[in-house]
A and B are shown apart, each in its own frame.
Chain A
């Protein structure tokens, strides 16, 4: 691990200035749960760490009926999990927090850090000089790739590790990015960068930019939502595959909604074609199961992870039916 300077700015402008030219110079330190292991594993080596926890106002949770939810980047996963308003209006978000990491990590880990965390690919975290670390090869392609992606993964086949991102994507969230010049807002699905565009970064933040807010639209009345995460152990594990579903219904038909996936792609993933078909889908076992058969149909599993495709399809089908109260 390298030596670094530890700085504690008290406003965004100062933090942004301290961030300087990018990760070699300085990196944001929020809960530190990802940052510390990145440092210890020598994946990153910034000269400065910028602790943003001293900046006031970044850990608010605000809900206004009709307007929706506003979350500061320093809101902890635990705070999301335990917030009654979130549990009531956005079950999918609370459920994603429920199954995230462990109690200790939820206490420390922040939402901003969760969305900006680096991939967990074991070659990336290990002493392999892979593509994403500036090397020439993706070791996972020919190596152990059980946990890697099945779709959207060229030339690096990571999966995005965040549970919160998957839930927020299904909720159509937006993120606000602070820059000294102007503050801009973008839809969450434009926040993440696919490897085909740039395989050395996971999100669009440029040097000096800070995620300063996450907004979730107000839920339409009668919205159903939920999160299912497949993990091998009962705690600590990242999603092998996860699915978030958000929809409204009328009678036995879905009237609109969105499904998103974790663990299948380098970015939190949506199957646009499937989401278009959702509206009008009959909530019966037969039609939901049939619809799910074409989910992620462009998938190209690697040597060890073909199981993720039926896993994603099965999880989606059972989640939709469970939310609709249809017996499996």
Chain B
């Protein structure tokens, strides 16, 4: 028997919002996060960390350990002391060398959390300091011995399009620009944590994470391939933003080894200070452009140089760099292009995945650059940008084909109308008085799914399991971390099957049950995993037999038209793109440098929304996080040590700081996405900072070439301006530091 064609329950339109299945427990406080879990006989682990940026460990002195307490360190690892990631440089525990402050050296494990912490604080590590690389400048100067390889470079790539030397010769004008950004901390509300439980021949690790199968592989490598059956279960995850893509692998490996050593469950939960000091951050960047314009002032060629600070271990840096590079020329048609990128190693906290994954840095830079070119030419930035924006049938920076319709022009035009952009853009340039207004605009895209060959390598596999009671279980490794996967994926399946939503079950993934559908990253969950689920659901529907147990699996392959040459970075870097436009209006108080964001207008093309309210959550959340990146969030690492160690020192915007946001989406379905959906998770953050920065730049009449744009930076810029107003004079800094450009 087939299911009825249409049932009323899920609503006619998949975009109609439904109640989030995870909301009630989270609001009521009954959701159990990792730190809420306790199992009989459980031990607590506390990490002893490096206090030196780069040093050789000369001795480890332990205080007397009471019965039941023990330590776990590199030599206890039965497998390999390397976290399995793209590369092979990152150890679970430092061996004889430490490479950043906060790097784990050993765990103290014992039956009481407090005593464990006390003992850990009494462990004495002695070091012989080695010459550290404490900043990008240090790394460029190359005075200290390399940290990675021979050139201290985690990754270096370049790619070409057209013939840049020829463009250089033909050009009428050349414009140079440079931009920089700093670290950004995820500041998810739930700090990282795992619980490893050993049973005969088996090892289960529970944890707050995005990527259960990454964790599984890391744990298998730590405990020795094939020696134990490793099972990973995601627990309720209180935010992640990319920060739980890489680091849980390290924690899980450590806890697993501790659990094997003791034969008892071991829980390892970071406190906030540890989490800020030791887990990965967004890569600081420096991006320089040399751009060539033709006789019509059009973009002829562009030479982009990207430098990222990768911190102490390579982690995911090489792919972050690739995404940054593929965003370097923005949404624009640049006939002749050369992009060069490097990630350098420094003795700082490792940089890793963070919502946007390299794209926010690149879009901040390219959008400001285009803004600057337009202003220099005396043209309206909106017009100039749209004149060069990619259209369907154009070639991307890597010579891929833009297959879908590009609705940027109408999105931007409509948004700018709503915001009054053209009139304000013209009027605000000549602002007067203490409070100055400015308006800024950005266009961006986000490649949905893995960068380059990622999807083909991973080949995500999903399963649907139909039970005898005709309920359907979604079996994917995708995790709910607040973004709404548990809302959206069941809707896709319910709508495809035409059965009520409450007949669909989707639990937090358990690797004993779910196949490897890939990590929950890269704006791929709805489009790629959801797409597979839709295909499987349609298949299930065709063969539906009521009362029978049925199983269906599907594995992802790119649609046949997607081609990618990983060696030369040529072809379709992403299967599809989501697009965004942001307009931001600000008011700057020239007496104090304070920026007040008056309003944000945003339009996104995410193909088709799978749930309007969930999308709104992504839009407003992404915008808030982007605002923080643009205006407040400053994480400084001096002499290898993170300076802002607590939430109170690391200023993310509060609700009181949120301006009114008018956001929406256009319908532009992607043929291979479920119900036309593309990705939406990262896009919403990517374009905020350049729009804010452009608005501030206009308001103060001074260049803004770095974020966050803080009041002190604004006051300083005003001072440096030639015609400074006498009552906003600011004396020179007494002892300027020259750590990195992000300081000045």
Q: Which residues of A approach B to under 8 Å, CB–CB?
A: 41, 120, 122, 125-127, 143-144, 146, 230, 232-237, 240, 289, 300-307, 309-311, 314-315, 317-318, 328
**A127 vs B117: C-alpha distance when bound (angstroms):** 15
Interface residue range, chain B:
35 or more
B638 touches A236 (CB 8 A): no
| A328 to B594 Cα, complex, angstroms | 17
Residues in B637-688 with C-beta less than 8 Å from chain A: 638, 643-646, 648-649, 651, 653-654, 656-657
Knowing A122-B645, A144-B638, say if A301 contacts B654 (CB, 8 Å): no
Which of B601-658 touch A at CB < 8 Å?
Answer: 632, 636, 638, 643-646, 648-649, 651, 653-654, 656-657
**B193 on interface, CB distance cutoff 8 Å:** no
Report the minimal beta-carbon distance from A275 to chain B, rounded to whole angstroms: 21
- Point out the residue from A233, A300, A303, A304 that lies within 8 Å of B656, measured CB to CB: A233
- Taking the complex as formed, is B592 at the interface, i.e. its CB lies under 8 A from any CB of chain A? yes
How far does the Cβ of A128 sit from chain B's closest Cβ, in whole Å? 9
Confirm or deny: B41 has a beta carbon within 8 angstroms of a beta carbon on chain A. Answer: no
Contact, CB under 8 Å: A310 / B734? no
> Distance (Å) between the CB of B626 and the closest chain A CB?
16
Question: Cα distance A233–B624 when bound, in Å?
Answer: 13
- Complex Cα distance, B733 from A300, in Å, reads 10
Q: Say yes or no for B5: interface residue by CB 8 A criterion.
A: no
- Contact with A232, one of B711, B716, B733, B737 (Cβ below 8 angstroms): B711
Name the distance in Å between A236's Cβ and chain B's nearest Cβ: 6
| Candidates A127, A240, A318; contact of B711 at CB < 8 Å | A240
User: Nearest Cβ in chain A — how far from B594, in angstroms?
Assistant: 7
Residues of A within 8 A of B729 (CB): 310
Contact A127/B273 with A143-B643, A304-B712 known, Cβ cut-off 8 Å: yes
Given contacts A232-B632, A311-B592, A146 and B727 within 8 Å (CB-CB) = no
Q: Binding site of A, secondary structure by majority: helix, strand, loop or mixed? A: loop
What are 7 A-B residue pairs whose CB atoms fall within 8 Å in the complex?
A: A41-B646, A143-B643, A237-B651, A303-B734, A311-B592, A314-B727, A314-B728
Is B736 an interface residue when CB atoms closer than 8 A count as contact? yes
> Chain B interface secondary structure, helix, strand, loop or mixed?
loop
In the complex, the answer to whether A122 meets B734 with C-beta atoms within 8 Å is: no
Report the minimum CB–CB distance from A327 to chain B (whole Å): 11
B651 touches A232 (CB 8 A): yes
Known: A302-B735, A310-B715. 10 other contacts (CB 8 A): A122-B644, A122-B645, A122-B649, A233-B653, A235-B654, A236-B654, A304-B733, A305-B712, A310-B729, A318-B591
User: Are B643's CB and A315's CB within 8 A?
Assistant: no
Bound form: Cα–Cα A220–B719 in Å:
40
Contact of A303 among B649, B716, B733 (CB under 8 A): B733
- If A144-B636, A146-B712 touch, whether A307 touches B593 (CB-CB below 8 Å) is yes
| Chain B, Cβ-Cβ closest to A41 | B646
| Residues of chain B with a CB closer than 8 A to A234's CB | 654, 656-657
A303 and B736 within 8 A (CB):
yes
List chain A residues, Cβ under 8 A from B736. 303
Check A233 against B654 for contact (C-beta < 8 Å). Answer: yes
- Assess the B632–A233 pair: CB atoms within 8 A: yes
Contacts of A236 in B (CB 8 A): 648, 654
B4 within 8 A of A: no
Q: How far is the CA of A305 from the CA of B711 in the complex (A)?
A: 11
A234 to B715, CA, bound (A): 19
Q: Which residues of A contact B734 (CB under 8 A)?
A: 300-303, 306
In the bound complex, do residue B654 and residue A307 qualify as a contact, i.e. CB atoms below 8 Å apart? no
Residues of A within 8 A of B710 (CB): 232
Taking the complex as formed, is B513 at the interface, i.e. its CB lies under 8 A from any CB of chain A?
no
- Which B residues are in CB contact (< 8 Å) with A304? 712, 733, 737, 743
B659 to chain A, nearest CB (A): 11
B688 to chain A, nearest CB (A): 17
> Which residues of B lie under 8 Å from residue A232 when comparing CB positions?
594, 632, 651, 710-711
Enumerate the 4 nearest inter-chain pairs by beta-carbon distance, A residue then B residue, closest first.
A234-B656, A314-B591, A307-B712, A235-B656
With A301-B731, A306-B734, A311-B593 given, is the CB distance from A126 to B654 under 8 Å?
no
| A42 (CB) vs chain B CBs: closest residue | B121
Assess the A306–B732 pair: CB atoms within 8 A: yes
Which of A41, A303, A307, A318 is most buried by chain B, counting CB atoms within 10 A of its CB?
A307
Q: Which of chain B's residues have a CB closer than 8 A to the CB of A315?
A: 591-592
With a cutoff of 8 Å between Cβ atoms, the chain B residues found around residue A301 in the complex are 731, 733-734
A202 to chain B, nearest CB (A): 19
A317 with B727: CB separation less than 8 A? yes
Pick from A122, A240, A306, A328: contact of B434, CB under 8 Å: A328
